[in-house]
Amino acid sequence: MADKKRDYKREYQNYQGKPDQIKKRASRNAARRKMQAEGKVSKGDGKDIDHKNGNPHDNSKSNLRVQSKSQNRSFPRNKNGGKR
């Protein structure tokens, strides 16, 4: 599998280019810009912006916090490997 190159164009067409994914990405980018303006994160710092209530469209100040990538992208899993 290491030899197989990733087909970004196909990936965009099949997933990332869908309207709901574009909307979610725009919201995540807006949250990051908001935290950058406050000086809490900077480009390339390896940090993620976490939405405390899990709603990516709620970019209110009280709902955002800075976390490490590993902490923000991990979550408890059930016996089938999905989220609990």
Transcribe 42-63 into DSSP letters.
Answer: -TTS-EEEEETTS-TT---GGG
Q: Which two tokens stand for residue 48?
A: 């993620």
Round to whole Å and give the CA distance between 84 and 80.
10
| The predicted structure's pLDDT at residue 40 | 94
Q: What is the pTM of this model?
A: 0.70
Q: What's the pLDDT at 2?
A: 65
Give the whole-angstrom CA distance, residue 67 versus residue 18: 27
Look at residue 1 in the predicted model and tell me its pLDDT: 55
User: What confidence score (pLDDT) does residue 78 get?
Assistant: 74
**Where are the domains positioned within the chain?**
8-73
Residue 53 in tokens: 């209530």
Residues of the chain with pLDDT under 50: none
